[in-house]
Amino acid sequence: MFKGMDGMSEGEANFHFDNMFGKAGIVDKQLYYPGMQRIYDGSKKSCDTGLQEIGKMLSKAPSIDTTSGGTYTAYGLQPAFVDTTIVDRTIRETPLVKLLPRRASRSLKYVYNVITAKKGAVFLLDDGSLSEQVDTRTTSYVDMKYLYGVGRITNPALAGANASYINLFGEDVRVKMASMNEALEDEIINGDDSTDAAGFDGLIASITTNTTDNSGAEITLDLLREDFNTSFEANGLIDLVITDGRTLNYVKGLMQDYLRFYGQIPANMDFGIPDAFYFDGALFIKDRYAPTTAASRRIFYVDTRYIFLAVLQDMTYQEMGVQSDSRRYFIKWYGSLVINFESAMVMRYGLA
């Protein structure tokens, strides 16, 4: 860690880290949520145990008053019975939040080491002079960012609903957690800290080396394979491809002319993503937060060895004290997206 870069001493960093991850038995830089990675840093059991312990830290609590949810007419002799199931017409799938691995951080900056050039090795004649090959190394870092979901619930609403109808604690936390995940998913794709300093750079802002403008034309199978090879030539191995729903359907239409079978997702990789399939060894998925404007659509080719969420504090509930006859609370998440080898990835933009 760069001492002093984030204003914390070694002892302060240890205190804050132990207060979150230490309680769950997670050490610094440990992969505690593997996402779609199949190779674990340590055992699968240690990942599962860490996630279970973090889950226990998330308390349930609430943000609604007695008039929330609209009104209806009922009659004394014919009372209305309301279905307690709530249909959320705004909810979106958040596949990248589930797929991307997470690594624990103990600092306000996630610092990592990078080899930018190898001097290499040489063949020599018998008794040739031995000279050192000095590789080029450097360090880089990503700042932690802070995501919040705030709620408030009046005590009369809480008392009335819990007595006969619905658990407002659980319902409000469910909505706030969904909002947190949706905001995180959006930032993973569209985040740009040059326009919003409170957020982090997402895929669009981070992938800058290997990008191609498709100038409003449709994607083709030849271009897909060209993009895969571009990553390979840059020392990448693409295993995840993300795009919007329209473009994903177009790719599937191209394949119907050549293939009778789409690679099915194995059970251990089923994250509930509709229409996902394998092609050339990569999982293709659609994401609701990928750009959908005509001639501005994109395809992201990702090597998941070099992308993860660095987390200083995972989703945590915290009370804000009493306000009038109500209770306020917030859910918080401290972390950032880390792409430590962006040139191994490819982005094709300007798709029809």
Indicate if 37 and 181 belong to the same structural domain.
Answer: yes
pLDDT value, residue 41: 55
Is residue 5 in some structural domain?
no
pTM score? 0.79
DSSP string, 84-113: -----TT----HHHHHS-EEE-SSSEEEEE
Give domain status of residue 73, yes or no: no
Structure confidence at residue 104 as a pLDDT band (50, 70, 90): very high
The total number of structural domains in the chain stands at: 2
Is the same domain home to 254 and 167?
A: no
Per-residue pLDDT tens digits for 192-230: 999 999 999 999 999 999 999 999 999 999 999 999 999
- In this structure, the answer to whether residues 157 and 290 fall within a common structural domain is no
Q: Is the confidence at residue 277, as pLDDT, over 70? A: yes
- 155 and 301 inside one domain: no
Give me the CATH number covering residue 227. Answer: 3.30.2320
Q: Tell me the average pLDDT of the chain.
A: 84
SS3 162: helix
Answer whether residue 146 is part of any domain: yes
Please check whether residues 190 and 228 belong to one and the same domain: no
Q: Which range of residues forms the domain containing residue 295? A: 209-306+343-351
Predicted local confidence at residue 73, as pLDDT: 66
Find which of 113-117, 171-175, 271-275 is predicted with most confidence, using mean pLDDT: 113-117
Residues 301 and 312 in one domain: no
Query: Which of 247, 240, 249, 239 lies closest to 219, judged by CA?
Result: 247
Over the stretch 5-45, which tens digit does the pLDDT of each residue have?
455 566 666 766 776 677 777 877 788 777 776 655 555 66
Ramachandran region, residue 69 (left: φ > 0; alpha: ψ -120 to 50; beta: rest): left
Residue 325: give its domain's CATH number.
3.30.2400.10
Are 145 and 175 part of one and the same domain?
Answer: yes
- The helix or strand, by DSSP H or E, that contains position 311, with its residue range, turns out to be strand 307-322
- Co-location of 311 and 295 in the same domain: no
Q: Is residue 331 a contact partner of residue 177, using CB atoms and an 8 Å limit?
A: yes
